[in-house]
Amino acid sequence: MEYNLYFDYENKKAEKEAFENVLKEYESQEIGYYHLPESSMKFKDINFDDFSEIAIIGIGGSSLGTKAIYEMIKNKFPLKKMVFLENPDPIDLIGKFKELKNPLFFVISKSGKTIETISIFKKVIEHFKLKPKAKNLKIITDPGSPLEKFAIDWGIECFNLPKNVGGRFSVLSAVGMVPLKAAGVDIVSILQGAKDFRNRFFEKNELHLLKKASFYARNYKIYPVNVLFAYATILSAFKEWFVQLFGESLGKNGKEIMPVGHIGSIDQHSFLQLLMEGMGHKTITFLQIKNFDPDFKIPNINLPYLNATDFVNDHTFAELINKECEATKEALLAKEYPVDEIIMESLNLKNIGQLIMYYEILTSAIGSLLEVNTYNQPGVEIGKTILRNKF
């Protein structure tokens, strides 16, 4: 992994403060996600071979991280199909029910009271005729939650995540690792990648993260928006995970760093104009895969009237998308945007684990400097209360 910052900023005091804040969380074990690379290794030997699809019933932090990893690797490894039953959209749910022939269901809710998840679960019980002691049903929740109590009552196998791990930081816990292992993913490599990055950070070998965190936190009024420009369609779900991670963690007490996720080169045609000639006030992060595995070339074909694009003939599509990324980056640098880039040498499981841990620690570091509670979401709870009163 390669991390480059294209802005000249140094605040040693803030960087030291951010490191000490995050180190305190890590050493005190008050915040649990730092320790998941070790504690989740216990899931490496679980086996669910009797099912052809994995169906996730969950929303937000209970599904986005798992979906991000699956979407990145589903065409790279021989995996079982994963279907995500997230949104109480009846058209979406009916369509996805039709895709499921021999599914293993995971009901995932940290609190055990997520209204969308439990409502969809009830419909799954009805539609797929699930009964107590069903072998094709598993529960993932907090210890002692209403959902765990249900699992005990029904005789359903239940996996717990640590209570000190918040939903949006939970992908490396049972929430993500158990369903991904059931789908055939080598979770050991993901966890090892996350552990490697965490260890390097606390050994002070990833200081770029502190520089970025201090810049974002000390300049949030000037640059209140961070745009993640991810140059690969398979990163679409990852940008959704990033949006929740930043949005729920850092938007508090009248402060915010608003996350915006885009996919290159698609969104060059829908968002770049705004960046180039809009109001500014944004930081831009480019996420790029340097080496795509397939040597997939643009044919050396000359078509009548279409020769204006022939200069890319016989080059790979990987070259094209990465050159587009570089061109967009250079254009935005010329507009004096604060730009940084994350380059994955190749798309592999260890790099994915590193990327997840990078963003989680970055979020914690920024939150500590903003002096917000990175791990709660009171604004979300207010909306849930209002919803309950509408029925």
* Residues with active-site annotation: 248, 269, 384
Both structure tokens of 170: 């939970």
Integer Cα distance of 99 and 86 in angstroms: 15
Which helix (H) or strand (E) element contains residue 210?
A: helix 208-218
Q: Are 338 and 6 in contact (CB under 8 A)?
A: yes
Residue linked to tokens 């109001």: 279
Q: Are 250 and 372 in contact (CB under 8 A)?
A: yes
User: For residue 310, what are the CA distances in angstroms to 204, 298, 299, 303, 390?
Assistant: 47, 10, 10, 9, 59
Nearest by Cα to 152 from 144, 118, 58, 177 = 144
Q: Are 298 and 263 in contact (CB under 8 A)?
A: no
Q: Are 241 and 68 in contact (CB under 8 A)?
A: yes
Q: Is the peptide bond preceding residue 249 cis, with omega within 30 degrees of 0?
A: no
- CA quadruple 313, 316, 321, 327: dihedral positive or negative? negative
Both structure tokens of 168: 């949006």
- Contacts of residue 68, defined as CB under 8 A and 6 or more positions apart, other chains included, come to 171, 237, 238, 240, 241
DSSP, residue by residue, 91-111: HHHHHHHHH-SSEEEEEEESS
User: For residue 209, what are the CA distances in angstroms to 167, 174, 229, 317, 360?
Assistant: 23, 27, 18, 31, 11
- Classify the phi-psi angles of 29: left when phi > 0, otherwise alpha if psi is within -120 to 50, otherwise beta: left
DSSP state of 299: P
Q: Are 105 and 84 in contact (CB under 8 A)?
A: no
Determine the 3-state secondary structure of 360 from DSSP. Answer: helix
